[in-house]
Amino acid sequence: MKSVCLCIITFFSCMGLSSAWASDQNLNNVLNKRITIYGGVRLYQADGTFSSTREGSPVIKVDMSDLGLDENNVSAIGGFIFNFGERWNLRFDYFGYHDDAEVTAGKNFNFDGVIIPINATVNSSLDMDLYVLNVAYNIVHTDRARFGLGIGVHGIDFDLKVSGRISVDGNEVPIGAGQEDFLAPVPNLWAYGAYAFTESFILRYGGGWMSASYEDFDGSLILANAAIEYWPFKNAGFGAGYNYITADIDYDPGYKKENYDVDLPGVVFYLTLGF
């Protein structure tokens, strides 16, 4: 719903703002730069559920809050846009999420064949890296505005580790550890746009969608973002915005079934360079 509202607002902004683009031939038109790169941080508030069930065991979903992985987190982001033609561009984006925690189990659950009893001490770590590569074509291409469609690949590198231990006569006794990791490259559709309000203020927005089955994977992923950039210098600027990622992935290699359902909304801040 947020991404739909964003697109509507952007559309009417582009239609309503009709002031002429400056005629200065030396104008620093950020949208025409051959290469634009960015790097910064993303402030997450994650939410999600996981399950890893071996054949014959009951499916028990574990919330991120059960594992203590639902706290605010700061992770790196980065990427680039390469305009290799008047209307063609190649875009790469990276988003990471990395967190670890230690909590006391509030319920019994199993993960990857390990049974964690209530009141056990649970250690967990979650590493998720999302790589997005797209080739796109500008349907709208003016001095002020860009809007295009593309196709590409999302690569999701996921690694979740869970271990537990209990206290027996004052001694800590390990009860096992489970780990699930996979790298899933899947195709995606991409839509994006940009609008220059002035020489220095640029709105960028976009979104990607994937819903497909690939080998042992089945699921969907949605990525949406919007940001305002301020370019006080010819080749450098700053950006701030909002980014939303949601992934619902099932993994079934035959001897077990896994499910990962994660929402990762967050505010982004970054430095951008253009040449």
Domains and CATH numbers, the chain: 2-14+45-104+123-159+177-215+239-274 (2.40.160)
Query: Which pair of tokens denotes residue 2?
Result: 């947020």
In the predicted model, what is the mean pLDDT of residues 163-190? 85
- The per-residue pLDDT for 212 is 66
- The per-residue pLDDT for 147 is 97
Q: What is the pLDDT of residues 139-174, one digit of tens each?
A: 999 989 999 999 998 888 888 899 999 988 888 899
Q: 3-state class of 32 per DSSP? A: helix
Is the model more confident about 266 or about 70?
A: 266
Cα within 13 Å of Cα(83), Cβ side: 15
Residue 73: pLDDT over 90: no
- The per-residue pLDDT for 86 is 85
Report the percent of the chain where pLDDT is more than 70: 88
**Alpha helix stretches (DSSP H) within 1-141:** 2-16, 64-67
For the question of whether the overall pTM of this predicted structure is more than 0.75, the answer is yes
**How far apart are alpha carbons 27 and 85 in whole angstroms?**
20
In the predicted model, what is the mean pLDDT of residues 174-179? 88
Residue 2: pLDDT over 60: no
What is the band of 8 on the pLDDT scale with cuts at 50, 70, 90? very low
Residue linked to tokens 């064949």:
113
- The per-residue pLDDT for 109 is 84
- The per-residue pLDDT for 7 is 41
Residue 6: pLDDT over 70: no
**How far apart are alpha carbons 189 and 135 in whole angstroms?**
10
Query: Which distant-in-sequence residues (6+ apart) come within 8 Å of 176 by Cβ?
Result: 113, 114, 115, 163, 164
